[in-house]
Structure 1
Amino acid sequence: MPTQLLAVLLLCAAAAPGLRGAPSSPAVTCDGGGEAAAASLAVRHINEHHEHGFKFKLDEMQSSKIEHVPGGCHFDVNVKLMQTDCHVTNPKPADQCDFMMQSERGAVATCNSKLDVKGGVATVTSHQCATRPELSNSEMVATCPDCPALLPLDDETGVKAVEEAVKKFNRESNHQNYFALMEISLLTSGYIPSVGTNTWLKFALVETVCPKNSRILQQACTPRCPDRAHHAFCESSYTHSTGELGAVTCEVYLPKNTEPLEPGAQEPACSAGFHGSAEASACTARLGAAEPSIHPICPFPLAVQLPQVPQLRQV
């Protein structure tokens, strides 16, 4: 038996009550009162295109404008969003997630979204968000001196602790395949009397194609396609004075696609996850100097530069 408990909760969008999908939103119309529906559609669109970090939920609609055009209208909506406690891999609809408490060091985003309504059909054409911590570390000290401080997501101690936590998860889980680190989602640090400095870890895992009895190095195991993979969102802690990792507790989410492969068929190959994608590079380029402790909402649409195919020289 492991000395520390690994709590794994299986959640399935298809089976669990209340997780059958978000209720249908009211239609966006060009008549009076369409602003709230436009804001709701804008937030849903933002979450659908937010591929890292946590889901967001509407906190306040700050302003909206409508321009009537032949056959429809244009909306320009400004909203304030607050980060929830649901990771983007969590199948729960965002409006069923809870806002992060201030002490949990969540993020806030102010977003401008533009929508076109033509023939009764509403389409989000763009969104642009400024994402930041709800409070900076200095603001948090003034409000709650005992609350944890945000750390950069590449903090050396935090990264090493997460790597150990991933190994611990794979040792103690009963899953058939290895899981790999998908991302570090949040790192915080604080001082506990009689214990010393602690770093708290929140991170996401994705199932790989490698069976646990495989001799392949875990670093070489590629993730399963997003719709076929189990995902996990985990928390743990690291005590600096003792160098000990705490219990690793995780929620594990079932794959969206559970169709078995045909006999003899190979696992389909998929592109790298968001953090190694062209979209991530384009997002970084558009945002410039992003806050290092949070996952920002990327602009939409993104101009992704595809790799150039060398042209054969004709002779």
Structure 2
Amino acid sequence: MKALVAFILLVQLPIHKAVPAAPPAPLGCDDPESEAAAEVAVDYINSHSHHGYKFTLNTIDNIRVLPQGPNKEIIFLELDLLETTCHILSPTPLANCTVRSFTDHAVEGDCDVKLQKVNGQLSVLASKCHSHADSSEDILQLCPDCPLLITLNDTEVLATVTESLNVYNGKSTGAYLKLLEIGRAKMQYHPAHVVFVEFAVAATNCSAAEANVEACHLLPDDQSDFGFCTATKVIRPSQDLQVNCQLYGHQPGVTYSPPGQATSGLVPGVVQGFTNHNLRLSHNNPLASESFSSEFSASMLPAKSVARRAVAGVAQHDKVPRPVGFVPPPPCPGKIRHFKI
């Protein structure tokens, strides 16, 4: 009898079904976690670039987070970057580097970056980038007389760089400088014909005053002293040349990767007539893209945009209890920090 009563009471107990825990909300492109990952990615891109200029973040286009177990995630980022005026050899912190203005003929970088986050620590696994200059038509619509980027191997550019370096070395009381690479070149035709060039240099073991050019060699890595020059050459109506060079001083751990069979300080891929150093030369790992990731291919469905995933996530889990005041993350892409090309 006691057993029967106990059974009846047990049957009458309320049955509580386990409520599944709410899955983590997808990140929005302007969330602090997304911006932290983007900062690590941009630092990696700049520190692993071998030519050209430092880039800064303009927009986070997309973010995808793939849980990999306790305290571990894989993060895929799609970033829009903008070129700054700081060469990669410059010791100037990125935060102090000026973003090239639209009328300075801006260069945009598009990057896919794969990161991992383990116990809260972010690190980059792969990067893939491409950079390109804004169209000349866009610049001329806003500023008809602005100088425009021209190919780095243009004959007037090469002549201006050679003349500028010779003039500077001829007046210098310091080390004899050699050309590393031409970083940028612009031409203006109206109201005057002017060539603008920027180029990276390095000190040699010779003094400029006593240089035997054939015997001058770049300093070894543990003594290296890199620098940067800008020059403006007016060709018409009257000729004039202004040159300014700055040596940075030795920076431990900072090295320059020689471009191999280069012509006049140009990376081989640039000699073919390009107007800017392409980030692809330093960042071209297909695993950086979500669609090429082995982890993604093996364990996930085809990628969706963050905006679609956010909406789909809310729809799929609308029966799952959400915290009071829950708001889905904003869609991607995120905010534009400078200007859109």
Q: 1:202 aligns with which of 198, 214, 232?
A: 198
TM-score, with normalisation over the residues of structure 1?
0.71
- Distance in structure 2 (CA, Å) of the matches to 1:111 and 1:173: 41
Is 1:294 aligned with 2:276? yes
* Aligned pairs (5 A) from 1:1-315: 33-71=32-70, 72-133=72-133, 135-175=134-174, 177-193=175-191, 196-214=192-210, 216=212, 218-226=213-221, 228-241=223-236, 244-257=239-252, 273-276=257-260, 292-297=274-279, 298-300=281-283
- Does the C-alpha gap of structure 1 residues 48 and 227 become closer, same or farther in structure 2, counting only changes over 3 Å? farther
**Match for 1:233: what amino acid?**
F
How many Å apart are 1:158 and its aligned residue? 0.8
2:67 partner amino acid = H
Using the TM superposition, name which of 81-90 and 114-123 deviates more: 114-123
> Cα–Cα, structure 1 residues 225 and 102, in superposed 2: closer, same or farther, change >3 Å?
farther
* 1:232–1:252 CA contact under 8 A, matched in 2: yes
Most deviating of 246-255 and 65-74: 246-255
Contact 1:52–1:274, Cα closer than 8 Å, also in 2: no
Deviation at 1:149, TM superposition (A): 1.6
- Pairwise CA distance, 1:257: 4.2
Please report how far the alpha carbon of residue 124 of structure 1 lies from its aligned counterpart in structure 2 after TM superposition: 0.6
Q: 1:128 to 1:78 in 2, by over 3 A?
A: same
Per residue, is there more helix in 1 or in 2?
2
Is the contact between residue 290 and residue 296 of structure 1 (CA under 8 Å) also seen in structure 2? no
Structure number with higher relative contact order (C-alpha < 8 Å, ≥ 6 residues apart):
2
In the alignment, residue 59 of structure 2 is paired with which amino acid?
E
Q: Decide which moves more: 80-89 or 205-214.
A: 205-214
Give the Cα–Cα distance (whole angstroms) in 2 for the partners of residues 209 and 246 of structure 1: 27
Counting matched residue pairs gives: 252
The answer to whether the 8 Å contact 1:165/1:245 transfers is no
Letter in 1 for 2:198: K
Secondary structure at the aligned position of 2:232 is classed as: strand
Structure 1 residue runs of 4+, over 4 Å off?
A: 30-33, 288-291
State the TM-score, normalizing by the size of structure 2.
0.66
What SS does the corresponding residue of 2:236 show, helix, strand or coil?
coil
Provide the aligned C-alpha RMSD in A.
3.1
When residues 289 and 235 of structure 1 are mapped into structure 2, their CA distance, relative to the original with a 3 A threshold, is closer
Paired residue type of 2:121? V
Amino acid at match of 1:239: V
Q: Distance in 1 between matches of 2:136 and 2:91?
A: 31
Q: What 5-or-longer segments of structure 1 have no aligned partner?
A: 1-29, 259-269, 304-315
Q: Report Cα offsets for 1:173-203 as digits up to 9, x if no partner.
A: 221x21101111111111243xx31111111
Q: CA deviation at 1:114?
A: 0.3
Cα distance change on mapping 1:115 and 1:234 into 2, 3 Å = same
1:116–1:122 Cα contact (<8 Å) kept: yes
Unmatched runs of 5 consecutive residues or more in structure 2 = 1-25, 287-341
Larger radius of gyration: 2
The structure with the greater share of residues assigned to strand is: 1
In the TM superposition, residue 213 of structure 1 has moved relative to its aligned partner by: 5.0
1:121 Cα deviation after fit: 3.1
Letter in 2 for 1:210: C
| 1:70 CA drift (Å) | 2.0
CA deviation after TM superposition for structure 1 residue 155, in Å: 0.6
Separation in 1, partners of 2:67, 2:127? 20
Closer/same/farther in 2, CA of residues 57 and 277 from structure 1, 3 Å limit: farther
